[in-house]
Amino acid sequence: MAKSTAAASQIEKLRDDIRRHEYLYYVLDEPEISDVKFDRMMEELKRLESMHPELVTPDSPTQRVGGAPRKGFETYRHSPPMMSLDNTFSFEELEEFDRRVRELTGRDRIEYVTEHKFDGLSISLLYEGGVLVRGVTRGDGTTGEDVTGNVRTIHSIPLRVDAAELKKLRLPTDFEVRGEIIMPLRAFEDLNQRQEEQGGKRFANPRNAAAGAVRVLDPEITRARRLDFYAYFLLVGGRMAAHLHSEALESLRKLHFKVSPGRGICHSLEEVEKFIDTWEEKREKLPYEIDGIVIKVNDIALQQELGFTAKAPRWAVAYKYPARQETTVVKDVIFQVGRTGTLTPVAVLEPVEVGGVTVSRSTLHNMDEIERLGLRIGDTVIIERAGEVIPHVIKVVKEGKARHEIAVPERCPECHSKIHKDPEEVAYRCVNASCPAKRKESLLHFASRHAMNIDGLGEKIVDQLVDKGLVKDFADLYELKLDDVAALERMAKKSAQNLLDEIKASKNNSVARLIYALGIRFVGERTGQLLADHFGDLTKLAKATVEQLVEVPEVGPKVAQSIADFFSEPANQRLIRRLKDEGLKMTEKRRAPEDMRLSGKTFVFTGALPRRSRDEAGAEVVRHGGKVSESVSKLTDYVVVGADPGSKYDKARSLGVTILNEDAFDDLLEGKVTVPALERPGKMPGKSNSKGASKRTPQRSLF
């Protein structure tokens, strides 16, 4: 018992520390410790909790994982309804609003609070006993969807608030916070870039992307979208929980919610207008999109006096900024090569001022976008700018007299290699592994842990090697001289020698690693292994036709085409020859299964295994004659579960498939006869509360 109490207080202390650092990082943006250190604390907490599953509570920082995807959302009724806001577009309309407020209240001066109008989706967060219990979208205002699992993944939403702080603020532990979930511009850009790389659709704006991310059934997707939350109302028992709105915002801030960083208390309409003007310029620099300013009567008693219309409060209004759009002429379209080799068309514009900034370039994203716009060189277009994001073309407004078709270049503008297009994708790309546009990226991948595993060849070194012209491709690494490396910044002779030793040692890596390291599109670690097993020789692989490639297990036409494209590129053929000359291992005895112990058995992996990567685990299954599948079905024999498992875990449980942890998996590989099916309650966040039923599945004998 004493031991458990000690553990409990250790866990609670660690949670408090983590909560503090989450707040510093996600809310204040002022981290005090490194990411690595933070991750370590999190790992430690996970470890302690897995040893004491009975101590896991839903408000623990480890419980931001949202759990398994769901079938649909339940609806939830708001009380009071979540209102919309009336919009104004000019100072005249604003003066009209102010006049009405003064008339209705009989005052000649009104104090207003001004806040950013966040462009996202509004959400209601319900706390009970100081702990977040429910998150509901606005929906139609009266009823919304319960998206609790998803909002829990948003780091700036406290899973619980400090009880002492609530007391100090004289607030009860049951309350409601209303605010806006937004997607920061950085996250939005990254998301669209990923979408494009994977051949998906771009999101039109951060609002759509945020709304989509909150209303997906799989919380894992919400988490990956890196959303943020800003609070703007605090309610207790359905009523505003303060005498002044500014006080409520201050309380929210003290409870560790984010509130509008630009907020003001204005004593006159002139001050409101000044606030609006100031932020119209400054909004450029904000990390998120705002589409205006919200103006609210500060005094809650006056708010109540004013009441509501059918749709919106009479005590608040939104001032909308004009869209930052302008018309101009497209003089030319050029193509830029991105870090991954994708070609991006860019419009060269007649320079034009858009919201105070001169714009002379605008991204066109891809060829489909050009087609959608019906754009030709010489056309007059409308461009729009949001934040510091590159402006984009909205539409063609006038066709030019001499219109030129926009053609994708046949050769890469950087290295003159042939440009390839995957039939299923919109992107065109340069597949030359040594193309200057993606040199650094390729080298980092080549050196990475699961590829050639060259320790010490990180970003700083790669940057210098490339910038100094010492390394242009992978083969150059093997020609580096000690003096050259030792001359780099922050490189002592000793570490230079270590690096060269590492590079040299990598020559003996398996062919599978080398294939993966080349950075062929769609060829991950596992495919690298399968290709190595099948061909046993890199030079044979390089000569394989698409027909031969699709014979490799798990290689479909898309992957086969990508491999063939890669090796058809003369620059890549030269590279392979040079790597061979440098003495890298190119052939390997083909690996026949060691034994057929797992013959006829199908495995599925989910979650992170402690000791090996999923690909390594898969390779072992194959080595013993078994098969690996991506999805769980009745035909699956075993599901091997690691930390933070996904939906496959639930599926396995519902189908009654035998579940193993890594230890049990090892036993199976070693041919031990019986293996206990495993359920570790503490490892499955949020699942241990189903009345112990899930804690232990009957032990099953395996053979």
Which CB, 98 or 414, lies closer to Zn ion?
414
User: Please, what is the minimum distance in Å from the beta carbon of residue 120 to ligand AMP?
Assistant: 7
Total H helices, total E strands in the chain: 26, 23
414 binds, among Zn ion, ligand AMP, none (CB under 5 to 8 A by kind): Zn ion
State how far the Cα of 420 lies from the Cα of 427, in Å rounded to an integer. 9
Using CB under 6 A, which of the segments 15-23, 113-121, 249-257, 633-641 binds ligand AMP? 113-121
State how far the Cα of 649 lies from the Cα of 666, in Å rounded to an integer. 19
Q: Which of residues 161-180 bind ligand AMP (CB under 6 A)?
A: 180
Examine the residue annotation and report whether 117 is marked as an active-site residue of this protein: yes
User: Please, what is the minimum distance in Å from the beta carbon of residue 98 to ligand AMP?
Assistant: 18
**Contact criterion met (CB below 8 Å) for 258 and 231:** yes
Which CB, 257 or 335, lies closer to Zn ion?
335
651 binds, among Zn ion, ligand AMP, none (CB under 5 to 8 A by kind): none
Using CB under 5 A, which of the segments 64-72, 411-419, 447-455, 531-539 binds Zn ion? 411-419
177 binds, among ligand AMP, Zn ion, none (CB under 5 to 8 A by kind): none
Which CB, 263 or 420, lies closer to ligand AMP?
263
β-partners of residue 371 are none
Opening angle at CA 303, ends 300 and 305, nearest 5: 115
Mind giving me the DSSP string for 72-127? -PPEEE-SSPPP---EE-SHHHHHHHHHHHHHHHT-S---EEEEEEE-SEEEEEEE
Out of 117, 296, 648, 687, the active site residue is 117
Among 60, 122, 661, 688, binds ligand AMP (CB under 6 A): 122
Sequence-ordered list of residues with C-beta below 8 angstroms from that of 519, at least 6 positions apart, any chain: 433, 442, 445, 446
With H, G, I as helix, E, B as strand and everything else as coil, classify residue 312: coil
Sequence-ordered list of residues with C-beta below 8 angstroms from that of 21, at least 6 positions apart, any chain: 31, 32, 33, 38, 41
Sequence-ordered list of residues with C-beta below 8 angstroms from that of 542, at least 6 positions apart, any chain: 567, 573, 576
Among 415, 560, 563, 584, binds Zn ion (CB under 5 A): 415
Among 137, 153, 260, 527, binds ligand AMP (CB under 6 A): 260
User: Please, what is the minimum distance in Å from the beta carbon of residue 118 to ligand AMP?
Assistant: 4
Contact flag: residue 431 with Zn ion (CB under 5 A) = no
Alpha helices, DSSP H, located in 448-492: 459-467, 474-477, 482-486
Cβ burial 99-113 (10 Å sphere, 16+ → b, else e): eebeeebeeeebbbb
- In angstroms and rounded to an integer, the radius of gyration of the C-alpha atoms of the chain is 30
Contact flag: residue 84 with ligand AMP (CB under 6 A) = yes
Using CB under 5 A, which of the segments 99-107, 176-184, 415-423, 564-572 binds Zn ion? 415-423
Binding mask 281-310 for ligand AMP (x = CB under 6 A): -------------x----------------
Q: How many residues bind Zn ion (CB under 5 A)?
A: 7
Tokens read off for 661: 């942890």
CA-closest candidate to residue 65, choices 73, 74, 56: 56
Tokens read off for 582: 């440098």
250, 254, 255, 259 alpha-carbon torsion, rounded to 10°: 50
User: Please, what is the minimum distance in Å from the beta carbon of residue 109 to ligand AMP?
Assistant: 22
**Contact criterion met (CB below 8 Å) for 570 and 495:** no
Contact flag: residue 462 with Zn ion (CB under 5 A) = no
Token pair 């599945």 in the structure block, residue: 697
End-to-end CA distance of the chain: 40
Which CB, 82 or 617, lies closer to ligand AMP?
82
Which CB, 322 or 409, lies closer to Zn ion?
409
Which CB, 279 or 638, lies closer to ligand AMP?
279
Amino acid in position 425: E
Residue nearest to ligand AMP (CB): 122
Q: How many residues bind ligand AMP (CB under 6 A)?
A: 13
Among 22, 98, 115, 273, binds ligand AMP (CB under 6 A): 115
Binding mask 210-249 for ligand AMP (x = CB under 6 A): ----------------------x-----------------
Among 117, 223, 420, 653, binds ligand AMP (CB under 6 A): 117
User: Which residues would be at the binding site for ligand AMP (CB under 6 A)?
Assistant: 84-85, 87, 115-118, 122, 180, 232, 260, 294, 318
Q: Tell me which residues are annotated as active site.
A: 117
User: Which residues would be at the binding site for Zn ion (CB under 5 A)?
Assistant: 412, 414-415, 417, 430, 432, 435
